[in-house]
Amino acid sequence: MNYKKLISLTLTIATLTTTNTIIPQLKTGANQPQNKQIQAQRKASDWFYQGIIKTNREDYQSAIYNFTKAIEINPRYAQAYYRRGLIYAQYAQGKILNSDGILPGCVRVDEYSVSCEVKVTANWKKQNQQQAIKDFNQAIEISPRYAAAYYQRGLIQENRQDKLNDLQFAALTYLQFNNYSEAANVLEDIDKLYLEMNPDAAIKESPTGSPTLSADLKKSPHQLMIEGREALDKSDLQTALEKYRLARQIFWDRKDTKKHQEVQQIISAIEGKKR
């Protein structure tokens, strides 16, 4: 039998049931939107992974281009926004330079001078910071529990309270997803920020030689939180809880309501893991 006729006959039979009821055939046109979406997603993914490769090669401008193409195809590609935001954040913090040690967009004229485009001025870092925050905002809007996006946004926030809010949310989210190591890293940044805002927090509560207090009760809440964080990094939830509970009590005694509440949130998240 002719091969083409066999295919035609097979397709015709496939559209009939044993009772000769016709099953509507799926036409190519009906699937076009879905197929286009799948193709677009795959293409967006291709651009995204090219961006990762370029980032690993430190070709950051090409990486930004690739992530941007992925976003153009799929405007809800949270990871692409996040990855592009990371590069802008690094630019804003002055961590990414050309191989010759100057800012991207600048060229070395001679041994003593560098020429930059107008955009590479005093506002250059600020512009990159704003773009990074914008990208992290988009990633968070698409994926509201994107802990890494909260964390990175927190790191480049200028307002300390905004920074603290982002870091706290990131830490709690990492805890909820059992990522204790990342939670510990974020909590370390929170502790550093808290010390910047409250230099006296590292002062011990009681004289070291006081015979009436246990060793832990003689420690500052800052030291207790360090030890709690270290225990958390080892997934030792029981020890972490003990340390944070002691720190919470000290903040309560000091009438530091805000820090007491922040530590209570951490305790509640850890307790939720132990149930």
pLDDT bracket for residue 47 (50, 70, 90): very high
Q: Does pLDDT of 24 surpass 80?
A: no
How many Cα atoms are found within 13 Å in the side-chain-facing hemisphere of 251? Answer: 23
Burial 34-55 (b: 16+ CB within 10 A, else e): eeeeeeeeeebbebbebbeebb
Task: Quote the pLDDT of residue 106.
Answer: 63
> Residue 118: phi, psi to the nearest 5?
-55, -40
Task: Quote the pLDDT of residue 101.
Answer: 53
Task: Quote the pLDDT of residue 220.
Answer: 86
Task: Quote the pLDDT of residue 199.
Answer: 78
* Helix (H/G/I), strand (E/B), else coil: 236: coil
Helix axes 221-233, 180-197, angle to 10 degrees: 160
Task: Quote the pLDDT of residue 93.
Answer: 79
> Residue 222: phi, psi to the nearest 5?
-60, -45
Task: Quote the pLDDT of residue 5.
Answer: 42
Task: Quote the pLDDT of residue 17.
Answer: 34
Q: What is the pLDDT of residues 133-165, one digit of tens each?
A: 999 999 999 999 999 999 999 999 999 999 999
The second-level CATH assignment, the architecture, of 36-108+116-146 is Alpha Horseshoe (1.25)
Per the model's pLDDT, the better-predicted residue between 273 and 177 turns out to be 177
Q: What is the pLDDT of residues 63-88, one digit of tens each?
A: 999 999 999 999 999 999 999 999 99
Domains of the chain, residue spans: 36-108+116-146, 159-275
The DSSP H or E segment spanning 66 is helix 60-73
Task: Quote the pLDDT of residue 123.
Answer: 77
Task: Quote the pLDDT of residue 62.
Answer: 92
Task: Quote the pLDDT of residue 11.
Answer: 36
Q: Are 259 and 210 in contact (CB under 8 A)?
A: no
Q: What is the pLDDT of residues 197-254, one digit of tens each?
A: 877 766 655 444 454 456 776 788 889 999 999 999 999 999 999 999 999 999 999 8
Among 53-57, 133-137, 271-275, the range of highest mean pLDDT: 133-137
Q: What does the pLDDT average to over 88-112?
A: 66
Q: What is the pLDDT of residues 169-194, one digit of tens each?
A: 999 999 999 999 999 999 999 999 98
pLDDT bracket for residue 272 (50, 70, 90): confident
Q: Indicate the DSSP class of residue 259.
A: H
Per the model's pLDDT, the better-predicted residue between 169 and 98 turns out to be 169
Sequence-distant (≥ 6) Cβ neighbours of residue 241 within 8 angstroms: 228, 267, 270, 271, 274
Q: Amino acid identity, residue 153? A: R
pLDDT bracket for residue 195 (50, 70, 90): confident
